[in-house]
Amino acid sequence: MTTEESKPEKSQKKYIISYVWDFPNILSLSGLFCTIIAIYFILQGVYSAAMIGMIWAVAFDWADGLVARRIKGRSSSDGQFGGELDLLIDIVSYGVTPALLLLSYGKFDPVFLPGAFLMLAAGVIRLSYFSTFGLADGSKYTGLAIDNNNIAFVFIFLFEGMFSADVFPVILYVSGLGLAALNVSQISTPKLSGKPVNVVLLASYTLAITAIYGWTLL
């Protein structure tokens, strides 16, 4: 018996693809598209463009939850599917992408593999924990939410030009390990994405980051 067969039957739509037409899920997939763009430019070594993709992935991620909470009559199956979709996209956007960023900037030197693994492992462990236990008290997380990893990295990269080619990879390495430690720590952190004012602040930050890095690409 397969895993799917062993699960209790749940109400679902006729076609799997029909879930895509749920607007919050469209936003989630838009964030995934931004992540693919970021990964493409990371592998190309065009880090300014990658930073734009990474921050827009966060913007769409925050937007999908805000929109979902404001749609009336949204079915429970849409909500459950959207939650699972969001979780899987988070693994790619905030786990795989920063790990690839570290490897790429380190010119894929094997010394960066442990750091990339620890960053990705911390993200997966954190998401598994959150999927199991949820918020600490309904409004706070245990540990640092991994969407903050992208927010932090695009900020750190603003100072790339201030350091030598030998020093900045070390800064990224240490920053990545620090964020990984915070992701799985026991500290209590607020859920920033749940408040409209924070979404507005992120939107402003996203536009500013896009303008700054976009200028460097001209």
pLDDT tens digit string along 96-118?
999 999 999 999 999 999 999 99
Taking CA atoms, 94 is separated from 10, 74, 76, in Å, by 30, 27, 26
Judge whether residue 119 has pLDDT over 60: yes
Q: How far is CA 18 from the centre of its chain?
A: 24
The model's pLDDT over 19-33, given as tens digits with 9 standing for 90+, comes to 888 888 899 999 999
Q: For 121-180, what is each residue's pLDDT tens digit?
A: 999 999 999 888 877 666 788 899 999 999 999 999 999 999 999 999 999 999 999 999
Residue 2: its pLDDT value, please? 41
pLDDT score, position 136: 67
pLDDT band at 80 (very low <50, low <70, confident <90, very high): confident
In the CATH hierarchy, which top-level class contains the domain 20-217? mainly alpha
The full set of domain ranges for the chain reads 20-217
Under the banding of pLDDT at 50, 70 and 90, the label for residue 72 is confident
Higher pLDDT, 133 or 46: 46
Residue 140's SS3 state is strand
pLDDT at 32: 97
Query: What single DSSP character describes residue 92?
Result: I
Q: Which residues pair with 21 in a beta bridge?
A: none
Long-range Cβ contact pairs of 109-116 (< 8 A, separation 24 or more): 112/169, 112/173, 115/173, 115/176, 115/177, 116/176
Q: Is the dihedral of CA 157, 162, 167, 171 positive or negative?
A: negative
Nearest Cα to Cα of residue 179 among 120, 105, 110, 113: 120
* Average pLDDT in the chain: 89
Band (6; pLDDT cuts 50, 70, 90): very low
Give the pLDDT band (50/70/90) at residue 3: very low
The length of the chain is 218
